[in-house]
Amino acid sequence: MGYHFYVGNDNGNSEHDMIIDGNTIVQPNVNCTVDALPWSEDQAPESFIKNLQDQLVVTIDSPAARPGMYYVGKFALESGEILDNLQIGIDLKCDMDLPVVNSLAQIAAVAVQKHYEEEKKIPEAIEVAVDMATALPVTQHTDETSAKFERRFMNGTHHVTVHLGIQRVAVKVTFAFAKVVPEATPVIFTLQKDAEGNWREGDIYQEFVDTYAVGKSFNGSFFKDKRILHVDIGDGSTEYPITEGNKFLRQFVYGTHHGAGYAIEEALDDFNRLLHLPDSPRQFFSDVVKNPKHKYYARAIKTLKRPLESQVRQIVQNVKKQLTKARNEIDVITVYGGGSILMRTLLYPQLKELCDEREMKLLYIPPQYAVQMNAMGLDAFVRGKIYEALKSKAVQPA
């Protein structure tokens, strides 16, 4: 049984957002290596299928990563095992095993779910061919690093065993082509078009429409020729690329080591002390501040306030630097990424004032879309004509 998947893969420092064959997967970007399965044999393998991403255990045999058994994502985070995560400001994503292992695990999991959905039985083996677009931070993206990251996926066959209790499914994953682009740039596709390729409409623009009275029939076509300064706030980096229409302007490549993760790292000791914990991972803190109903939410926000103010101050300074470099020739500043949600109350008023005085507009993406803007853009890109052209050129014999 074979499948072909299009994959938009945003490997964030804190969160892993993937769109695989049209399915959106959101998981903490962590894993851990283990020696044994966590289950006894009395669980029916079918019971794992529906929530497979939340209880994902795989064995990886790949030329691109250390072989072994892994808990992936949420299951790893909740396991109490020693976690592997991306060290913000330190790790080069193209060198790390974690993005490769987690990507392969999620692709294999979706293949198992798809087969079960179609055939109503669990297969012994599946083959998946993948076309994938993924990204590296602007600060890490060069011709060399992108080619290296692409090769890790495209060189060789990846064997993933998905464990459904004690039953195993062998998934063979090969990449027909993988393209690595600078983070933030795929978002130009997200701003303009929806998943069906039509001009995007709806609540993603509601605040923008209300603020600037641009008309009720407003849609993504507004952005097709605009010069946009992107502010993509992640955990470990903030990217400030400038795009014009569908073009990425190389001369304005700029990214800094600022983000919500640095504020969280700074607040983590205080947070752990208030909770009487010797230690807890950054991703646990991230999960708490995303959930106002969490019993530790108030304490997390309290410890985060001052470190967050410092990060916001730095980001505003860096936006001003980019505007100066671009001689203020910007139509719209667009803000998104996981960090933008946490920083909104502090950052929005400062950027709005900046936009008003320099005669530009501010599009602050609402929380329900902010994290997935890159994944949605990568998904649109991997299905588009530019990707096809790059693939055709790359696979032509020399």
Q: Is residue 80 part of a domain?
A: yes
Same domain, 173 and 216: no
- Residue 59 has a pLDDT of 98
pLDDT above 70 covers what percent of the chain? 98
β-bridge partners, 229: 242, 333
C-alpha distance from residue 330 to each of 60, 275, 312, 370 (Å): 46, 45, 21, 21
Q: What is the dihedral of CA 79, 81, 86, 87, to 10 degrees?
A: 130
Q: How many CB atoms lie within 10 A of CB 258?
A: 24
pLDDT(139) > 80? no
pLDDT(396) > 70? no
- Residue 45 has a pLDDT of 87
β-bridge partners, 8: 19, 133
Q: Is residue 282 part of a domain?
A: yes
Burial class (CB in 10 A: 0-12, 13-18, 19+), 128: buried
- Residue 398 has a pLDDT of 47
User: Could you read off the pLDDT of 368-381 as tens digits, one per residue?
Assistant: 999 899 999 999 99
Same domain, 225 and 140: no
- Residue 43 has a pLDDT of 83
Same domain, 134 and 283: no
Higher pLDDT, 104 or 287: 104
C-alpha distance from residue 316 to each of 138, 312, 335 (Å): 18, 6, 12
Same domain, 75 and 134: yes
pLDDT(231) > 90? yes
Q: Is residue 389 part of a domain?
A: no
Q: Is residue 388 part of a domain?
A: no
Same domain, 176 and 280: no
Same domain, 138 and 223: no
Q: Is residue 146 part of a domain?
A: yes
pLDDT above 90 covers what percent of the chain? 65
Average pLDDT for 123-133 = 97
Same domain, 195 and 62: no
DSSP secondary structure string for all residues of 202-264: SGGGHHHHHHHT--TT--GGGGTT-EEEEEEE-SS-EE--EEETTEE-GGG--EES-SHHHHH
- Asked if 53 contacts 103 with a C-beta cutoff of 8 angstroms, the reply is no
Domain boundary among 182, 212, 247: 182
Residue 65 confidence class, pLDDT cut points 50, 70, 90: very high
Residue 88 confidence class, pLDDT cut points 50, 70, 90: low
User: Could you read off the pLDDT of 338-358 as tens digits, one per residue?
Assistant: 899 989 999 999 999 999 999
pLDDT(397) > 70? no
User: Could you read off the pLDDT of 210-221 as tens digits, one per residue?
Assistant: 999 887 789 999
Domain boundary among 157, 182, 207: 182
Find the domain containing 275 and state its range: 187-375
CATH of the domain at 201: 3.30.420.40
Higher pLDDT, 376 or 14: 376
Same domain, 112 and 202: no
Q: Is residue 383 part of a domain?
A: no
Same domain, 107 and 91: yes
Cα(first)–Cα(last) distance of the chain, in Å?
32
- Residue 382 has a pLDDT of 93
Same domain, 227 and 350: yes
- The set of residues, in sequence order, having a beta carbon less than 8 Å from that of 243 and lying 6+ positions away, is 185, 188, 227, 228, 230, 249
Q: Is residue 384 part of a domain?
A: no
Domain boundary among 133, 163, 182: 182
Q: Is residue 385 part of a domain?
A: no
Give the containing element (helix H, strand E) for 27: strand 23-28
What SS3 state is found at 15? strand
- Residue 273 has a pLDDT of 85
Same domain, 243 and 116: no
CA 218 to chain centre: 27
Same domain, 50 and 194: no
- The set of residues, in sequence order, having a beta carbon less than 8 Å from that of 38 and lying 6+ positions away, is 57, 71, 79
pLDDT(163) > 90? yes
Which of 103-107, 212-216, 239-243, 380-384 is the most confident on average? 103-107
Average pLDDT for 317-344 = 95
What SS3 state is found at 156? coil
How many structural domains are present in the chain? 2
Higher pLDDT, 216 or 67: 67
